[in-house]
Amino acid sequence: MLDFLLTSDAIMALITLTFLEIILGIDNIVFISIAANKLPEHQRSKATNIGLLLAMVQRIILLFFVSFLVGLSEPFYNLETSWIQLHISWQAIILFAGGLFLIYKSTSEIREKVTDPGHDEDEIKGKKITSLSNAIVQIMILDFIFSIDSILTAVGMTNGLHPNHNYTLVLMIIAVMISIAIMIGFANPIRKFIDTNPSIQMLGLAFLILIGFMLITEAAHLSHTEFFGNEVGAIPKGYLYFAIAFSLFTEMLNYKISKKSKKKPENN
C-alpha cells in the first residue's frame, strides 16, 4: 500500500482532493461559525472543534458505504439494441447518479451565490440554538448535507487509480483527515480569505461540474456503453489534475496582481 501512496498519481490525487475538500468545506465552516456564535463565548471554539471532528468521522463512515457500492462492478442488467449497448452495474449507477448530483448541486450553488449570496446564512441564523449539544446536532445535520458532494468528489477523483478499492479508500480517508485538521487549525483565516476572494469558491464549484461530467463518462465507460458501435472512453485523470492545477495557478497570479494594484494607490 505504501508503494501506491508514494506514486505520483496518488500524491497528485491527495493534494487535489485535500484542496477540494477544503474549498467544499468553506460553507460548512461558515455555518459552523454562525451556529457556534449563538453560544456563550467559552463554548464557541469547543463547538467548532467538536463539530469538525464529528464531521470527519461522519465523512469516513460515508466513504466506507459509498466505496462499498462503487466496488460492486458486476453487471446485473444488459441492454443491447441496434444503436446502443450497455451493461449496468451498481458501480456505474452510483457514479452516474453522483455525476448528475454534482452538476446539479454546483450549478444551483453558483446561481444562488450570484442571485442571493446570503440565503443559506440567513436560514441558519433564523434557527434557535439553546445549548452546546443543540449546536452540535445542527452542525452534524448541516455537515451531512455538505458531505455528499464532498464524498462523491473523492470517489470520482480516485476511482480507477488502483484495482484494489481499499487502497483508494485509504487515500480518500487521508485526504479527509488532512483537510479537517487544516480547517480546525485555520477555520477563521480560511473563511476570511474566501470571503475576500469569492472567486476561489466559485472556481471550486466549477471544478465540481468538471468532476461531475467525468463521473458520468466514467459510468458510461465502466458499463461498456456503445452508441452505434462506438464505445464511450474514460477521461484520463491526468487531464483533470492539469486543468485544476492550471486554473489554480492562474487564479493565484490574478490574486497577486490584484493585491499589488491595491497597494499602489496607498503608496502614492
pLDDT tens for residues 106-157? Answer: 888 788 777 766 655 555 555 555 577 777 777 777 677 667 767 777 777 7
The residue extents of the domains of the chain are: 2-263
Please tell me the distance from the alpha carbon of residue 17 to that of residue 189, in angstroms, as a whole number.
20
Q: Would the CA dihedral through 248, 101, 215, 182 be positive or negative? A: positive
| pLDDT band at residue 86 under the 50/70/90 scheme | confident
**Element (H or E) spanning 88, and its range?**
strand 84-88
Please tell me the distance from the alpha carbon of residue 54 to that of residue 60, in angstroms, as a whole number.
10
Chain-wide mean pLDDT for the chain? Answer: 76
The values of phi and psi at residue 210, to 5°, are -60, -45
pLDDT tens for residues 197-253? Answer: 777 778 877 887 887 888 888 888 877 888 777 777 777 777 777 787 788 788 888
- The answer on pLDDT for 67 being more than 80 is no
pLDDT of res. 54: 82
Q: Do 3 and 227 meet the contact criterion of CB atoms below 8 Å apart?
A: no
Mean of the pLDDT values across residues 3-15?
83
The closest of 155, 6, 188 to 67, measured between CA atoms, is: 155
Please tell me the distance from the alpha carbon of residue 113 to that of residue 135, in angstroms, as a whole number.
25
Report the number of secondary-structure helices (H) and strands (E) in the chain: 10, 4
The closest of 46, 122, 13, 84 to 226, measured between CA atoms, is: 84
The more confident residue out of 179 and 36 is 179
pLDDT of res. 202: 80
